[in-house]
């Protein structure tokens, strides 16, 4: 503020940002302002009051997650408030083009997730960046996770021999009504960040830098409701658009031994060697019929999920993170046998093989023709074995009472590539392995 103290009375605007100054005047008008300035009221003008259109502030814009590593980011990284899954068709025609694409994506992801400034071009050219985050990019907790679909292993790139064993085109389950325009894809990019501006900026950057290489096929954005921190430091799972906590039974991501079993492909999975430290990504766009749900008695809602709505606790009581116990409830009198959580995870011997790591977001798109809300869950889950993980769990859920209120309409299966070290690119081990096969 000191730079404004030397204003000479003869030049009332010197040193002031003229536009801001005029904005601050409001209805008072220039004449009144001149009077105010000359009468020494300048000090009041120096701290500008908050304006309606000021950018909301956040202390988390500098937050960044490491990009280089054995495994990709955005899987065991704690889920932030905003997520987006974008699926692309690959347009390049050959392996050389595919390598160029993967190198470009690696380079863009490395930049976007760590932040920095970009080249300022001669203004007679289009700018290199969309500018929506300003001239300097803050990472804002952004992670970008690159995965590949079964279609990438068709005849175009000679990758057929190295396809991960369980990677397949998603097939409709009994309650699905799949919309072809929101299914599958050669490549998926999962964007997660603290704010939507950051994920949209990242998507636009990648589109701008991959002309002729990628075509956006579909995308689905989602959010997670933000909660105030609790005084005792404990945390709770976020809620979905049905009002229930989602992810209570998730295996803890800070347990690296467990993550090794549940999430990451390793020597025990009988997968191609290049795929180690990768993971299967299952994506589902699951519409929720929220109006009908909101007209359903609470006890019925709780019986359908198998949990208490407000606390998230098991039906037999306690707190959210108490483990559900079914041993003394063989007939489902407390927790119905066909409730969502009991079907998904029966907690019987061997069912730990079917664990998955959920990373869902809630989505809200618009209005259906019948005037009802188009909203639901952008379900994303990671697992080392797609067949034993999501596919087995979903087969158990087929026919569950919750189906009256949900309708999966899109998504797909992808394989998340292993991580990358500086100087290398995502997918290099896959291309090298297929070279040996060809």
Partner 1 sequence: MSNLRTVITAAAFGLVAMQAQAAVAPQDLVNPITDYKLYVLDNLEQFSSHTREFTDAIKVGDLQRAQQLYAPTRVYYERIEPIAELFADLDASIDAREDDYEHGVQDPTFTGFHRLEYGLFHEHSTTGLGDYAERLMSDVETLEQSVQNLTFPPEKVVGGAAALMEEVAATKVSGEEDRYSHTDLWDFQGNLDGSKKIFELVKPLAAQEDPAFVARIEENFTAIENTLAHYYLIEGDASSGFESYDKVSERDRRALVGPVTVLAEELSTLRGLLGLN
Q: Interface with partner 1 by CB under 8 A: which residues?
A: 89, 91-92, 121-122, 124-126, 208, 211-213, 215
Closer residue to partner 1, CB minimum distance, 89 or 320: 89
Instruction: Give alpha helix (H) positions in 243-316.
Output: 256-262, 290-294, 298-305
Whichever of 89 and 236 has its CB closer to partner 1, that residue is 89
Residue pair 93/156 in contact by the 8 Å Cβ criterion: yes
Nearer to partner 1, 211 or 330 (CB): 211
Question: At its nearest, how many Å lie between partner 1 and the CB of residue 216?
Answer: 10
Supply φ then ψ for residue 395, to 5 degrees. -65, -35
Question: Is 99 or 403 the residue whose CB approaches partner 1 more closely?
Answer: 99
Smallest separation, CB 125 to partner 1 (Å): 4
CB of 95 to partner 1, least distance (A): 16
In this structure, are residues 405 and 396 in contact, taking their beta carbons and an 8 Å threshold? no
DSSP string, 395-422: HHHTT-GGGGGEEEEEEEEEEEPP---T
Q: What is the DSSP letter of 245?
A: B
Tokens 């290489």 sit on residue: 213
- CA 7: distance to chain centroid? 50
**Min dist. Cβ of residue 64 to partner 1 (A):** 29
SS (H, E, C) 1-12: CHHHCCCCCCCC
Closest distance to partner 1 from the beta carbon of 137 (Å): 21
Q: Which is nearer to partner 1, 188 or 269 (CB)?
A: 188
Q: Which two tokens stand for residue 166?
A: 């369980």
Q: Give the residue with the Cβ less far from partner 1, 122 or 331.
A: 122
Torsion of CA 29, 35, 41, 42, to 10 degrees: 70
What is the smallest separation between the CB atom of 293 and partner 1, expressed in angstroms?
A: 34
């Amino acid at each position: 503020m000191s730079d404004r103290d030397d204003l000479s009375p003869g030049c009332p605007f010197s040193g002031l940002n003229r536009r801001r100054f005029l904005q601050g005047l409001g209805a008072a008008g220039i004449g009144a302002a001149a009077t105010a300035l000359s009468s020494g009221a300048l000090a009041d003008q120096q701290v500008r009051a908050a304006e309606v259109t000021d950018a909301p502030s956040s202390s988390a814009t500098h937050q960044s997650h490491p990009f280089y590593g054995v495994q990709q980011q955005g899987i065991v990284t704690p889920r932030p408030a905003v997520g987006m899954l974008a699926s692309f068709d690959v347009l390049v025609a050959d392996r050389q083009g595919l390598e160029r694409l993967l190198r470009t994506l690696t380079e863009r992801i490395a930049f976007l997730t760590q932040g920095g400034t970009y080249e300022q071009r001669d203004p007679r050219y289009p700018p290199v960046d969309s500018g929506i985050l300003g001239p300097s990019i803050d990472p804002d907790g952004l992670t970008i996770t690159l995965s590949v679909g079964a279609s990438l292993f068709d005849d175009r790139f000679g990758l057929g021999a190295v396809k991960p064993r369980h990677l397949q085109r998603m097939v409709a389950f009994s309650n699905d009504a799949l919309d072809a325009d929101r299914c599958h894809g050669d490549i998926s990019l999962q964007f997660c960040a603290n704010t939507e501006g950051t994920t949209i900026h990242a998507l636009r950057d990648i589109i701008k830098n991959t002309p002729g290489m990628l075509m956006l096929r579909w995308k689905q954005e989602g959010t997670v409701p933000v909660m105030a921190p609790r005084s005792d430091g404990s945390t709770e799972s976020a809620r979905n658009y049905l009002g229930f906590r989602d992810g209570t039974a998730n295996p803890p991501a800070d347990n690296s031994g467990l993550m090794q079993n549940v999430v990451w492909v390793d020597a025990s999975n009988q997968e191609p060697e290049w795929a180690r430290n990768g993971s299967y990504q299952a994506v589902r766009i699951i519409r929720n019929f929220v109006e009908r749900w909101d007209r359903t008695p609470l006890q019925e809602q709780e019986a359908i999920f198998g949990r208490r709505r407000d606390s998230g606790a098991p039906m037999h009581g306690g707190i959210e993170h108490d483990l559900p116990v079914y041993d003394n409830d063989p007939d489902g009198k407390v927790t119905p046998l066909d409730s969502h959580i009991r079907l998904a995870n029966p907690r019987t011997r061997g069912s730990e093989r079917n664990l998955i790591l959920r990373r869902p977001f809630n989505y809200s798109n618009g209005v259906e023709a019948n005037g009802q809300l188009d909203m639901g869950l952008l379900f994303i889950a990671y697992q080392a074995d797609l067949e034993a993980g999501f596919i087995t769990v979903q087969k158990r859920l087929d026919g569950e009472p919750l189906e009256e209120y949900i309708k999966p309409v899109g998504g797909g299966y992808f394989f998340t590539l292993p991580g990358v070290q500086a100087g290398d690119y995502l997918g290099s081990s896959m291309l090298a392995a297929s070279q040996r096969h060809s």
